[in-house]
Chain A
Amino acid sequence: MRHLVACLIACLVTVPATAAEVTSFSLENGLDVVVIEDHRAPVVVHMVWYKAGAADEPPGKSGIAHFLEHLLFKGTDDMAPGEFSSVVAKNGGSDNAFTSWDYTGYFQRVAADRLELMMRMEADRMRDLRLTPEDIGTERDVILEERNQRVENDPGALFGEQRNAAMNLNHPYGIPVIGWKHEAAALELEDALAFYRTYYAPNNAYLIVAGDVQPDEVRALAEKYYGPLAPTPGLGDRVRPSDPPHLAERRLIFEDPRVSEPYVVRTYRAPERDPGAQEQAAALVLLSDILGGNGATSVLGQKLQFEQQKAIYASAFYQGLSYDDTMFGLIIVPVPGVTLQEAEDALDKAIAEFIEEGVDPVQLDRIKMQMRASQIYEQDSVQRLARRYGAALTSGLTLEDIEAWPGILQAVTAEDIMAAAETVFDRKNSVTGWLQKPQSAEVTQ
Chain B
Amino acid sequence: MSRLFLAVLATLALAFPARAAVEIQQVSSPGGINAWLVEEHSIPFVALEIRFRGGASLDLPGKRGAINLMTGLIEEGAGDLDARGFAAAQEALAADYDFDVYDDALSISARFLTENRDASVALLKSALVEPRFDADAIERVRGQVLSIIRSDSKDPDEIARATFDRMAYGDHPYATSLNGTEQSVSALTRDDIVAAHQGTLTRDHLYVGAVGDITAAELGALLDTLLAELPATGRPEPAEARLHFDGGITVVPYETPQSVALFGHAGIDRDDPDFFAAFVMNTVLGAGNFDSRLMTEVREKRGLTYGVYSYLASKDYADLVIGRVASANDRVAEAISVIKDEWARIAAEGVTEEELENAITYLTGAYPLRFDGNAQIAGIMVGMQMSDLPIDYIATRNDKVRAVTMDDVKRVAARLMDPEHLTFVVVGQPEGLETTN
- A residues contacting B by CB (< 8 A) are 13-14, 16-18, 40-43, 73, 81-82, 85-86, 89-94, 109-113, 137-142, 144-146, 148-149, 152-153, 257-261, 294-297, 302, 305-306, 309, 312-313, 333, 335, 362-363, 365-367, 369-370, 372-374, 376-377, 379-381, 383
Contact = CB atoms under 8 A, between A and B. Distances in A.
Interface stretch (B41-49, B51-59, B315-323): B41-49
Nearest to B290: A85
Contacts of A365: 92
B371 interface: yes
A334 B40 CA distance: 45
Contacts of B88: 296-297, 362-363, 366
11 contacts: A40-B42, A73-B290, A89-B358, A91-B365, A93-B366, A261-B147, A296-B88, A297-B87, A306-B140, A369-B92, A376-B43
Contacts of B61: none
Name, among A13, A81, A380, the residue most crowded by chain B CB atoms within 10 Å (CB to CB).
Answer: A380
A255 to B, nearest CB: 14
B184 interface: no
Interface stretch (B12-20, B165-173, B234-242): B12-20
Name, among B17, B290, B304, the residue most crowded by chain A CB atoms within 10 Å (CB to CB).
Answer: B290
B383 to A, nearest CB: 19
Contacts of B331: 145
Contacts of B296: 82
Contacts of B255: 257-258
Contact of A149 (B16, B91, B154, B258): B258
A413 to B, nearest CB: 19
A111 B368 CA distance: 8
A258 to B, nearest CB: 5
Given A306-B84, A376-B113, 20 more contacts: A42-B19, A85-B289, A86-B358, A89-B362, A91-B365, A92-B365, A93-B366, A139-B303, A141-B304, A145-B326, A149-B326, A153-B257, A258-B255, A295-B87, A296-B76, A296-B84, A297-B91, A309-B140, A369-B94, A372-B94
Nearest to A146: B306
Nearest to A378: B43
Contacts of B326: 145, 148-149, 153
A260 B368 CA distance: 42
Contact of B94 (A18, A85, A113, A373): A373
Contact of A258 (B143, B154, B301, B362): B154
A145 B147 contact: no
Contact of B87 (A41, A81, A294): A294
B374 interface: yes
B352 interface: no
B83 interface: yes
B161 interface: no
How many B residues are at the interface, by size bracket? 35 or more
Contacts of B369: 43, 92-94, 109-111
Contact of B44 (A16, A144, A306): A16
A295 B287 CA distance: 37
B304 A145 contact: yes
A340 B157 CA distance: 27
B28 interface: no
Contacts of A92: 361-369
Nearest to A365: B92
B43 A18 contact: yes
Contacts of A148: 257-258, 306, 326, 328
Contact of B306 (A16, A149, A261, A296): A149
Contact of B258 (A40, A153, A379): A153
A280 B382 CA distance: 44
Interface string B128-167: 0000000000001001100100110111100000000000
B291 interface: yes
Nearest to A374: B94
Nearest to A92: B365
A138 B303 contact: yes
B420 to A, nearest CB: 29
Contact of B328 (A144, A333, A373): A144
Per CB-CB distance, the 3 closest pairs between chain A and chain B, nearest first, are A92-B365, A141-B303, A373-B94
Contact of A41 (B94, B143, B302, B372): B372
A17 B144 CA distance: 42
A296 B256 contact: no
Contacts of A294: 87, 91
Contact of B154 (A81, A109, A260, A376): A260
B91 A369 contact: yes
A260 to B, nearest CB: 4
A14 B17 contact: no
B118 to A, nearest CB: 15
A152 B260 CA distance: 13
A296 B75 CA distance: 10
